Amino acid sequence: MPARNILVINCGSSSIKFALVDPDQQAFAISGLAERLGSADAVLHWQRDGIKHSQAIAGDDHRAALAHLLQRVQEATGGQLHGIGHRIVHGGEHFTRAQRLDDGVIAAIRAVAPLAPLHNPAGLLGIEAALALYPELPQVAVFDTAFHQTLPEHAFRYAVPEQLYRDHGVRRYGFHGTSHRFVSARAAEMTGLAVDDSAWLVAHLGNGCSTCAVVNGQSRDTSMGLTPLEGLVMGTRSGDVDPNLHSHLSRTLGWSLEQIDRMLNHDSGLLGLSGLSNDMRSLEQAREEGHAGATLAIEVFCYRLAKSLAAMSCALPRLDGLVFTGGIGENSPLIRSKTVAHLSLLGLKLDEAANARCLRGVSGPINAQGHTRVLVVPTNEERQIALDTLALLD
């Protein structure tokens, strides 16, 4: 079969991550990152055939950077680009699956932007730039929230006045849907179970972290909510706190909403607890060296993760397995071991030798014999976005 090249784009407010995916190939032909866009330090990094390159693109905005990176991408495809898949963070209740882009879809993405005021406008910048450069090329939006639109109402509603839901969309949406969907399907494939007859707990642990209960290929509950702040301890995000913390800090310290937002999203989590770093590798090393903050941050991270997984088990009819994924989930035997140690009531126990072997892309079962499955499954959101894009093009 000839190559089917899909460019996957993930836009932040000052960055564009990209990867060229041919679903028949494991490796990306080219991937990279344009960052510090709009500044004199703007730079494009890319990797092709295992070799890393960088190019200064001073002053480039999203559109100019996209034009630059598309040159590199077209070189890698030999001019055979078949479509573009855009990762969009928030699809609200409007989008339950990926959508081919047209004026109506773009207007709907804009309409839910108040729910993701930093992320959706950045995604729209990428969409507008790509459509301007390639008006004829089919383009698709893939939403982080879409997979969780199967949550039952008792899982997605907050116990606040109904009118806030009805008129303002205040409910739990969940994020990381593309990753939870990809790894739960892979887990079924790896264990010979049918996706539509399987039940998983998934822990996606990267800079952002979330858990998900996946039953028969559908999300039934997840730890993130209206925004990606709810739930687990993350790199710099607090996860759950007492909702009265806002009024407490405002009353006692005179903090503004912006200060509190910033503290909870950027100064908290592993970074806030440890006083050292948001990066789990650094914290594991510091813990080895006896750093008290790093040690505590790891303990809180694992305990809170285990508590969330136990809570998610309420959404499962049975448990076929627990799946670890994301940079931490795929690479940290310590975090997996400490988390599972809190979950013996769910019948979970690790084979520590197998646990130690699973890192840097090595996947597989890590549970002790006779105990419920625990799997390490590398995520691949770009691949899932490319598959969703192709499914709409075919």
Can you give the binding site for ligand ADP, defined by CB under 6 A?
206-208, 235, 279-281, 284, 326-328, 331-332, 359
* 281 assigned binding-site residue: yes
Q: Check 49, 60, 103, 144 and give the catalytic one.
A: 144
Q: How many CB atoms lie within 10 A of CB 263?
A: 16
| Alpha carbon 181 to its chain's center | 11
- Separation of alpha carbons 183 and 321, rounded Å: 12
Consult the annotation and say whether 207 binds a ligand.
yes
- Do 273 and 296 meet the contact criterion of CB atoms below 8 Å apart? yes
Q: Which is nearer to ligand ADP, 68 or 287 (CB)?
A: 287
- 207 burial via Cβ count (<10 Å: 0-12, 13-18, 19+): middle
Q: Tell me the closest approach of the beta carbon of residue 378 to ligand ADP, in angstroms.
A: 10
**Residues 358, 378: Cα–Cα separation, whole Å:** 10
Least CB distance from residue 68 to ligand ADP, whole Å?
A: 23
CA–CA dist 363, 355 (Å, integer): 10
Question: Is 22 noted as a catalytic residue in this protein?
Answer: no
Closest among 368, 310, 365, 386 to 186, alpha carbons compared:
365
Q: How far is the CB of 89 from ligand ADP (least distance, A)?
A: 13
Residue with tokens 């606040």: 160
The response to whether 328 counts as a known ligand-binding position is: yes
Q: What is the DSSP letter of 78?
A: T
Residue matched to tokens 């698709």: 140
Q: Which is nearer to ligand ADP, 284 or 351 (CB)?
A: 284
Report in angstroms how near the CB of residue 271 gets to ligand ADP at its nearest.
10
> Does 231 appear as a known binding residue?
no
The tokens describing 132, both together, are: 């301007």
Angle at 172 between CA 107 and CA 265, to 5 degrees: 90
CB 163 within 8 A of CB 97: no
Q: Is 327 annotated as a binding residue?
A: yes
Cβ distance to ligand ADP smaller for residue 10 or 372: 10
Residue 307 marked ligand-binding: no
- The residue among 201 and 280 lying less far from ligand ADP, judged by its C-beta, is 280
Q: Closest residue to ligand ADP, Cβ-based?
A: 327
Q: How far, in Å, CA of 203 to CA of 187, rounded?
A: 12
Both structure tokens of 300: 């809180």
> Cβ of residue 272: shortest distance to ligand ADP, in angstroms?
14
How far apart (Å, rounded) are the C-alpha atoms in residues 227 and 243?
Answer: 14
The answer to whether 86 and 101 have CB atoms below 8 angstroms apart is yes
Asked whether residue 381 is marked as a ligand-binding residue, the answer is: yes
Spell out the SS3 assignment of 290-341.
Answer: CCHHHHHHHHHHHHHHHHHHHHHHHHCCCCCEEEEEHHHHHHCHHHHHHHHH
Minimum CB–partner distance for residue 205 and ligand ADP (Å): 7
Query: Measured from the CB atom, is 329 or 365 closer to ligand ADP?
Result: 329
Q: CB nearer to ligand ADP: give 105 or 280.
A: 280
Residue 320 annotated as binding site: no
- The catalytic residues are 144
Task: List, as residue ranges, the binding site for ATP.
Answer: 17, 204-208, 279-281, 327-331
Tell me the binding residues for Mg(2+).
10, 381
Residues in the annotated binding site for substrate: 87
Annotated binding site: 10, 17, 87, 204-208, 279-281, 327-331, 381
